[in-house]
Chain A
Amino acid sequence: MNQSQPQQGVGSSRGVRLEDINLSFGKTHVLKGINLEIESGEFFAFLGPSGCGKTTLLRLIAGFEAAQSGKVIIGEQEVSHLPPWRRELGMVFQSYALWPHMTVRKNVAFGLEERRLPRREINRRVDQALDLVGLLALSERRPNQLSGGQQQRVALARTIVIEPKVLLLDEPLSNLDAKLRVQMRLELRQLQRKLSLTTIFVTHDQEEANTTSDRIAVINDGIVQQIGSPIELYDNPANLFVAKFLGVANVIDGALVEADGQVYFHSSDASVKVPINGQSAGSASIVFRPQNLTIRRQAAKPPNGATRLEGTVDHKEFLGSIIRYRVKVGRHFVLVDKAHQRGAEALPEGAPVAIYLNPEQVIKLVE
């Protein structure tokens, strides 16, 4: 994309508010009481596994699905009962949905023609949009003469040219190869910043969501599990689903017990004991990330204040930058990442090891 373009802010950008959205397809309850507020100019992601309802929610905002109850509010206006063509939202479809019988220019001009703008104005804005995505030279081509990345840009240009109130992106990167995906998500982010356009981005890929978004709503089973910035979600997941869906997590079930004025977490087989801040409250789980653990040969000296777990190496995987060990601790398996240094040797499978866990890195989840 062309970085040297003059600032082209979309003054029409609006926030989005969803109030108590319920939607069923037949007997399947797809969206269950969704409440959300997206700030104007924010880059917001709906993140969740396939079938969680995130795309349905996006299509609901765009007006392609109708909820049984609830309100969709764009800016100050409730749009729940407006048809898609009256909502002035720009949606980029997963398949791009470029019309094969029109040239790139015709595709991009379509929305403006529907708005009955004067021809000269249409041409100016189409040129500007195509220039913005760096495709001005290809404007007379047909969509099937373009590469995947180019088609993606046309779809984007076609959408932003109407200066939508909100930009809706439905898994826009999923049809691109890995390298192009990384490049396009950067471009998407830069474009969004430049236009300061409220953007909702649907994805099942946590890395995509983390790298692009200001805030993320993690959705599962038709329910918003948690909303927050990527780091908030990663560090303080509200529940097990969020903890496991964002990154790799060790989860151990057990109970909180109080001894000598200090609360400890005890795993059910008593192999893991960790001091915890807070009150004792019966059964609970703890979550900790593999990269926050230190793994040593048993003989080594423990770091200050760390809790020590003992086990044996069950399995190891070399992932390039790290070696990931699966260590059997009591009845549990704990994943431990160790940064790999050139020439360092991996611990052999079956070796007895000690794992050191800093209590500050432990997330407590009470059911």
Chain B
Amino acid sequence: MVFSEYRKHPGQTALMALIFLFLLLFLIIPVVKVVFVAFMDATTGEFTLLNFKDFFSTALFRESFWNSLYVGVMSVVVASLFSMPLAYFTSRFEFKGAVIIQSLGIIPLIMPPFVGAVAMMMLFGRNGSINLLLDDWFGITIPLMEGLNGVIFVESLHYFPFILINLSAALQNIDRSMEESAQNLGCSGLRLFRRIVLPLAMPGYMAGASLVFLKVFDDLGTPLLLNVNNMLAPQAYLRIASIGIKDPMGYVISVILVVIALSSMWMAMRMLKGKEYATVQKGGGGLAKRRMRPWEKTMAWGIILAIMALVLAPHFGLTLLSLGTIWSFSVLPDAFTLNHFAAIFAETPEYMTNTVLYSALAATIDVVLGTSIAYLALRTKMFGREWLDYIAMSAVAIPGLVIGIGYLRTFYGYQVPWLENQPMATWWVAIVLALSVRRLPYALRACTAALQQVSVSLEESAENLGASKLASVRKIVIPLMGGGILAGFVTSFATAAVELGMTLMLVAENSDGPLAYGIYVYMQSAAGRGPGAALGMVAVLVVGLCTLISHIVIDRRQKKYGLEPAT
């Protein structure tokens, strides 16, 4: 009964089998391998819990564990402090600053945190511009970038938009009548906020907060570049990189990273269960807005400008760093030059060409897989189609670092048949595959959203008029999904271009490295900071442009076809 669908649709069955094989080889097996090794005795190969005992009896690992949790939680707290006033201003007031707040919600996202980390050190570090000035004027310094503080500061500045966007959307979706009926029943002010507004906005906030925690907890690049090694992700990397792929600690840490990531997602989902309020009725949503009083306006602008200054600081610092000659123990660089840009294009153009090659290939794989999985999941009755979707989406919870370690362990023993001395794990194609698996969830969501907007009857009417399944997919479904697929491609491309954790594990030679890897390599030395920052500027440009394109494409598509925005 369940399997009769397979016999009826051989084409779809073959497609499903191919996708499953891909996910099995390049996602499931590497991750399972990591878990397997974590529970395996390194010498006898038998099942053991000893590795975990070793982990928790080592002071450095215990410290790293708590540090990672602390940094994750504190980043959520600080990010919430940034987001809440901004979300409040836009949803409560008729306010010209709303446009600026909207762009504040995008600017940090176009630069991965590790890219700006060193620049932030130059601005806010112990000997950074700000502290030099403060010391000069008032004789004080602020330890903003000391140790874990630095990681929390940089991460929360980069990831607060996730909370801002989700929280603003949640507030905007609260129907005015919710508030008005509470007022009608005698509730107002702070009490109204606590009893009505806050509970209704909570799901949105939680969604954003759990995402921030996840991203921060898994991040390898930022702590590494800030030279903070007593956290989980850097420890895993350092163990594998310095001791080798036989050392079980890297795997134990990987398992802990995955478990914490999964449980934070699970907790967020549990808290949200049954609370996805869609409260907007016909006739306009959003809370009642009023104009600000003059003193309120002054305060609001003050807060916005302060946050904007912080948000732009990494970009500003990176620009200075990429254009400055020598920048050390001084407020600004000594002089300005374009040599760093010249250097990266002359000496290491492969970082850029590699990035374009890897990301384009990975993004192509992603949209092909994403479109196919979305189609199978939404438009067929094939047994197991949801599982395809679940498995592909599960990559969200797997840190890039873990996928990297899994690839190393799984494919290191195999040689590429037609290349001499080339283990599969460190072949550049492995990087492309790992990138595509890691970014598949983004492309899949984009493709699913695009397909959901295309009503089934549009496809059925084509079949009814004589177009075969394949023809109606090709002539109707794909063109109508088109913009959505393109947006998925661009998002995959941009995020793959700046993926560091995984590439650090898989790049064997500098000549195989992409942008993110190049930035990391350059930033290791003081002399490399200039060119590293220049590479960082290129990365920001690439991601920024891609983000812009995807926004325009989605927008235009919705206007052109009169489609409803996907939910």
- Using CB atoms and an 8 Å cutoff, list the residues of chain A in contact with chain B: 62-64, 83-91, 93-95, 97-101, 110-111, 114-115, 144, 155, 158-159, 162
| Residues A93 and B461 in contact, CB atoms below 8 Å apart | yes
Given A97-B457, A114-B471, is A162 in contact with B465 using a C-beta cutoff of 8 Å? yes
Q: Could you tell me the distance between the alpha carbons of A25 and B563 in the complex, rounded to whole angstroms?
A: 30
- Using CB atoms and an 8 Å cutoff, list the residues of chain B in contact with chain A: 455, 457-458, 460-469, 471-472, 475-476, 479-480, 560-563
| Residues B468 and A83 in contact, CB atoms below 8 Å apart | yes
| Residues B461 and A88 in contact, CB atoms below 8 Å apart | no
Q: Across the interface, which residues of A come within 8 angstroms of B561, CB to CB? A: 100-101, 144
| Residues B480 and A144 in contact, CB atoms below 8 Å apart | no
Q: Could you tell me the distance between the alpha carbons of A210 and B469 in the complex, rounded to whole angstroms?
A: 37
Give A92's nearest chain B residue, CB to CB: B461
Q: Across the interface, which residues of B come within 8 angstroms of A95, CB to CB? A: 455, 457
Which secondary structure dominates where chain A touches chain B? loop
Q: Across the interface, which residues of A come within 8 angstroms of B455, CB to CB? A: 95, 97
Q: Across the interface, which residues of A come within 8 angstroms of B467, CB to CB? A: 85, 110, 114
Q: Could you tell me the distance between the alpha carbons of A131 and B303 in the complex, rounded to whole angstroms?
A: 64
- Smallest CB separation, B484 vs chain A (Å): 13
Q: Across the interface, which residues of B come within 8 angstroms of A62, CB to CB? A: 460, 464
Q: Across the interface, which residues of B come within 8 angstroms of A101, CB to CB? A: 479-480, 560-561
Q: Could you tell me the distance between the alpha carbons of A105 and B562 in the complex, rounded to whole angstroms?
A: 19
| Residues A100 and B563 in contact, CB atoms below 8 Å apart | yes
| Residues A85 and B468 in contact, CB atoms below 8 Å apart | yes
- Smallest CB separation, A339 vs chain B (Å): 40
- Smallest CB separation, B486 vs chain A (Å): 14
Q: Across the interface, which residues of A come within 8 angstroms of B562, CB to CB? A: 100, 144
Given A99-B476, A100-B480, is A64 in contact with B460 using a C-beta cutoff of 8 Å? yes
| Residues B469 and A97 in contact, CB atoms below 8 Å apart | no
Given A95-B455, A100-B561, A144-B561, is A85 in contact with B461 using a C-beta cutoff of 8 Å? no
Given A95-B457, A144-B562, is A110 in contact with B465 using a C-beta cutoff of 8 Å? yes
| Residues B466 and A114 in contact, CB atoms below 8 Å apart | yes
| Residues A115 and B466 in contact, CB atoms below 8 Å apart | yes
Give A145's nearest chain B residue, CB to CB: B562
- Smallest CB separation, B402 vs chain A (Å): 39
Q: Across the interface, which residues of A come within 8 angstroms of B472, CB to CB? A: 85
Given A114-B471, A144-B561, A144-B562, is A99 in contact with B465 using a C-beta cutoff of 8 Å? no
Q: Could you tell me the distance between the alpha carbons of A158 and B457 in the complex, rounded to whole angstroms?
A: 14
Given A100-B561, A101-B480, A114-B471, is A85 in contact with B464 using a C-beta cutoff of 8 Å? yes
- Smallest CB separation, A28 vs chain B (Å): 15
Q: Across the interface, which residues of B come within 8 angstroms of A87, CB to CB? A: 464
- Smallest CB separation, A168 vs chain B (Å): 8
| Residues B461 and A114 in contact, CB atoms below 8 Å apart | no
Most chain A beta-carbon neighbours within 10 Å: one of B463, B465, B563: B465
Ordered by A's residue number, 15 sampled pairs between the chains whose C-beta atoms are within 8 Å are A64-B460, A64-B463, A83-B469, A85-B465, A88-B466, A89-B464, A93-B457, A93-B460, A97-B458, A99-B480, A110-B462, A114-B462, A158-B465, A159-B464, A162-B466
Q: Across the interface, which residues of A come within 8 angstroms of B457, CB to CB? A: 93-95, 97
Give B457's nearest chain A residue, CB to CB: A97
Give A84's nearest chain B residue, CB to CB: B463
Q: Could you tell me the distance between the alpha carbons of A210 and B546 in the complex, rounded to whole angstroms?
A: 58
Q: Across the interface, which residues of A come within 8 angstroms of B465, CB to CB? A: 85, 90, 110-111, 114, 158-159, 162
Q: Across the interface, which residues of B come within 8 angstroms of A100, CB to CB? A: 480, 560-563
Q: Could you tell me the distance between the alpha carbons of A98 and B475 in the complex, rounded to whole angstroms?
A: 13
Q: Across the interface, which residues of B come within 8 angstroms of A159, CB to CB? A: 464-465
- Smallest CB separation, B5 vs chain A (Å): 10
Give A68's nearest chain B residue, CB to CB: B1
- Smallest CB separation, B28 vs chain A (Å): 29
| Residues B480 and A90 in contact, CB atoms below 8 Å apart | no
Give A114's nearest chain B residue, CB to CB: B466
Give A88's nearest chain B residue, CB to CB: B466
Q: Across the interface, which residues of B come within 8 angstroms of A144, CB to CB? A: 561-562
Q: Could you tell me the distance between the alpha carbons of A83 and B458 in the complex, rounded to whole angstroms?
A: 16
- Smallest CB separation, A117 vs chain B (Å): 11
Having A85-B469, A99-B458, A114-B462, one finds 10 other A-B pairs with CB under 8 Å, namely A62-B460, A62-B464, A64-B460, A95-B455, A97-B455, A100-B563, A110-B462, A110-B467, A114-B471, A144-B562
Give B453's nearest chain A residue, CB to CB: A100
Give B562's nearest chain A residue, CB to CB: A144
Q: Could you tell me the distance between the alpha carbons of A100 and B458 in the complex, rounded to whole angstroms?
A: 9
Q: Could you tell me the distance between the alpha carbons of A86 and B469 in the complex, rounded to whole angstroms?
A: 11
- Smallest CB separation, B454 vs chain A (Å): 9
Given A83-B469, A85-B467, is A97 in contact with B563 using a C-beta cutoff of 8 Å? no
Q: Across the interface, which residues of A come within 8 angstroms of B466, CB to CB? A: 85-86, 88, 111, 114-115, 162
- Smallest CB separation, A163 vs chain B (Å): 11
Q: Could you tell me the distance between the alpha carbons of A94 and B461 in the complex, rounded to whole angstroms?
A: 11
Give A108's nearest chain B residue, CB to CB: B465
Q: Could you tell me the distance between the alpha carbons of A83 and B463 in the complex, rounded to whole angstroms?
A: 8
Given A144-B561, A144-B562, is A97 in contact with B461 using a C-beta cutoff of 8 Å? yes
